[in-house]
Amino acid sequence: MTKQQITKTDKDFDIMGNYRRVRVGIVGASGYGGVQLVRLLIDHPDVEVVYMGGDSTTGKKFADIYPHLAHAINLTVEKVDPEVIAERCEVVFLSVPNGLACQMAPILLAKGCKVLDLSADYRFTNLSTYSAWYGKERSDNETASKAVYGLPELYRERIAEAQLVGCPGCYPTASLLALSPLLKQGLIVPETAIIDAKSGTSGGGREAKVNMLLAEADNSIAAYAVAKHRHTPEIEQICSELAGHEVTVQFTPHLVPMVRGILSTVYANLRDPGLVRDDLITIYRAFYRNSPWIKICDADTYPQTKWACGSNLCYIGIEVDTRTGRIIVMSVIDNLIKGQAGQAVQCMNLMMGWDETLGLPKLGFYP
Ligand SMILES: NC(=O)C1=CN([C@@H]2O[C@H](COP(=O)(O)OP(=O)(O)OC[C@H]3O[C@@H](n4cnc5c(N)ncnc54)[C@H](OP(=O)(O)O)[C@@H]3O)[C@@H](O)[C@H]2O)C=CC1
Ligand SMILES: CC(=O)N[C@@H](CCC(=O)OP(=O)(O)O)C(=O)O
């Protein structure tokens, strides 16, 4: 949808009659999520990035951190003061490590900002689950209770009404998009779900870590955080809501030697062994018929991470093993776009009453 197609109110125009873009701030602009947000928001027809915040990069020109964007934006990273941010911004993206957004969001919300948190702070309906898995105590129950889980394909209407959105993790995004039609329609035995997921190294952020060194990660593949990754309770929370009862899943993440992309392969036992692949493709297409970012592959076509990289798309491939009675669903996303910054922009579009595709990349880089 173009800018001209959006319904405008008087509030959207200044006294000279010029169209006024929504003022947006990014806390954590120097990180991988931050720089993706900058890239997407610079190209967004209805917003203007007016504030960037950070920690170790405070005082640096953004163009000195990312010289490839020097021609496109001229802002300096500032100290984080939520009161000041709220005076300057209508919408604020918090792309910071876990445990920080919950210190900033309550102040921003009280001052009337719409807030999108890219960390895990506002993903959980039960804060004791967050504390148990993230090792951080929380006292902002009231704020957390107002947060909406930012997976538009499931919670579009709730997101549109929200002032605070807790954007999903990258693995949960890929995995839940693969599992949701099955759980919502009771097609699988939920407890049989096994999620085998692989991520590129950018999923670990820009901060230096030994396991992310080229010499460590290249030409090698390994599982990590087996049976204890913190995305497990996040996936289970949504699976339980969809199934209507408590669900546990087996989730194993792997680090693979590439920069961007997630492949999540999900296995589960079908309740009805008579269901064939073509039925399931039809069911998935019907489930996602109003979801422009989800593409269900044709029969015998299995998606590659390369298809999604650079775009906000999620490609889903479906197969049934008639010998075992299991469905196998393969879901690919770009962890930094649909798995992080792109999904946050998609949520912002909904919160602002705009088309959810506005300003987002529709085609992958390929190759
Ligand atoms: N990478 C991914 O694929 C995904 C990440 N996420 C989540 O998104 C969030 C951001 O991740 P990512 O971009 O990868 O992380 P990075 O490590 O790349 O960036 C972290 C950012 O947070 C800033 N920051 C750190 N401490 C503070 C502080 N005390 N005050 C203000 N800013 C601070 C840093 O600023 P400075 O450089 O100035 O110190 C930096 O800009 C995390 O919560 C992550 O878990 C979610 C989905 C996917
Ligand atoms: C490859 C890699 O390290 N990936 C990250 C996931 C990134 C993410 O989505 O993290 P949050 O839930 O903290 O936002 C990890 O496994 O911790």
Report, as an integer, the average pLDDT of 13-26.
85
Q: Which residues contact 199 (CB under 8 A, 6 or more apart)?
A: 170, 171, 253, 254, 255, 256, 261, 262, 335
Q: 171 CA distance to ligand 1 centroid (A)? A: 16
DSSP-assigned states of every residue in 24-50: EEEETTTSHHHHHHHHHHHT-TTEEEE
ipTM (interface pTM): 0.98
User: CB under 6 Å to ligand 2: residues?
Assistant: 98, 119-120, 169-170, 199, 203-204, 231, 253, 255
Q: From atom 6 of ligand 2, which residue's Cα is the shortest distance away?
A: 203
pLDDT category, 328, cuts 50, 70, 90?
very high
Q: Are 251 and 306 in contact (CB under 8 A)?
A: no
Domain 3-167+339-351 falls in which CATH fold?
Answer: Rossmann fold (3.40.50)
Q: 331 CA distance to ligand 1 centroid (A)? A: 25
Percent of the chain topping pLDDT 90: 94
Q: Is the pLDDT of residue 217 over 90?
A: yes
Q: 206 CA distance to ligand 1 centroid (A)? A: 8
Q: From atom 1 of ligand 2, which residue's Cα is the shortest distance away?
A: 203
Interatomic CA distance for residues 261 and 241, integer angstroms: 27
Domain ranges for the chain: 3-167+339-351, 171-335
Domain 171-335 falls in which CATH fold?
Answer: Dihydrodipicolinate Reductase; domain 2 (3.30.360)
Does any ligand 1 atom lie closer than 6 A to the CB of residue 340?
yes
Complete edge-to-edge strand list for the sheet that includes strand 294-296: 222-223, 250-255, 194-199, 262-269, 326-333, 314-321, 294-296
Interatomic CA distance for residues 203 and 274, integer angstroms: 39
pLDDT digits 0-9 by tens, 122-166: 999 999 999 999 999 998 999 999 999 999 999 999 999 999 999
Interatomic CA distance for residues 17 and 235, integer angstroms: 47
Q: From atom 2 of ligand 1, which residue's Cα is the shortest distance away?
A: 203
Q: What is the pLDDT of residue 76?
A: 98
Report, as an integer, the average pLDDT of 261-275.
97
Complete edge-to-edge strand list for the sheet that includes strand 164-166: 47-53, 22-27, 91-94, 114-117, 164-166, 148-149
Could you tell me the end-to-end alpha-carbon distance of the chain, in angstroms, rounded to an integer?
27
Q: What is the pLDDT of residue 1?
A: 35
Residue from 170, 220, 228 whose mutation best tests the ligand 2 pocket (most atoms within 8 A of CB): 170
pLDDT category, 4, cuts 50, 70, 90?
very low
Q: From atom 13 of ligand 1, which residue's Cα is the shortest distance away?
A: 33
Q: Is the pLDDT of residue 168 over 60?
A: yes
Residue from 334, 340, 345 whose mutation best tests the ligand 1 pocket (most atoms within 8 A of CB): 340
Q: 117 CA distance to ligand 1 centroid (A)? A: 11
Neighbours of 141 (CB within 10 A): 10
Interatomic CA distance for residues 184 and 285, integer angstroms: 14
Q: What is the pLDDT of residue 9?
A: 62
Q: Is the pLDDT of residue 5 over 60?
A: no
Interatomic CA distance for residues 101 and 103, integer angstroms: 5
DSSP 4: G
The residues pairing with 91 across neighbouring beta strands, listed in sequence order, are 24, 114
- For residue 77, which ligand has an atom nearest its CA? 1
- Choice among 11-25, 31-45, 231-245 with the minimum mean pLDDT: 11-25
Q: Where are the alpha helices (DSSP H) in 112-230?
A: 127-134, 141-146, 152-161, 170-184, 214-217
pLDDT category, 11, cuts 50, 70, 90?
low
309 as an active site residue: the answer is: no
Residue from 95, 100, 229 whose mutation best tests the ligand 1 pocket (most atoms within 8 A of CB): 95
Q: Is the pLDDT of residue 310 over 90?
A: yes
Q: Which atom of ligand 2 is nearest to the CA of 234?
A: 12
Q: From atom 3 of ligand 2, which residue's Cα is the shortest distance away?
A: 204
- 89, 167, 170, 347: the catalytic one is 170
Q: What is the pLDDT of residue 19?
A: 79
- For residue 101, which ligand has an atom nearest its CA? 1
Give CA 299 to chain center in angstroms.
Answer: 27
**Closest by CA position to 114, among listed 84, 94, 130:** 94
Q: Is the pLDDT of residue 6 over 50?
A: no
Fold agreement between 3-167+339-351 and 171-335 = no
**Exposed / middle / buried, residue 333 (Cβ in 10 Å: 0-12, 13-18, 19+):** buried
pLDDT category, 13, cuts 50, 70, 90?
confident
Q: Is the pLDDT of residue 361 over 70?
A: yes
Q: Is the pLDDT of residue 88 over 60?
A: yes
Does any ligand 1 atom lie closer than 6 A to the CB of residue 119?
yes
Does any ligand 1 atom lie closer than 6 A to the CB of residue 116?
no
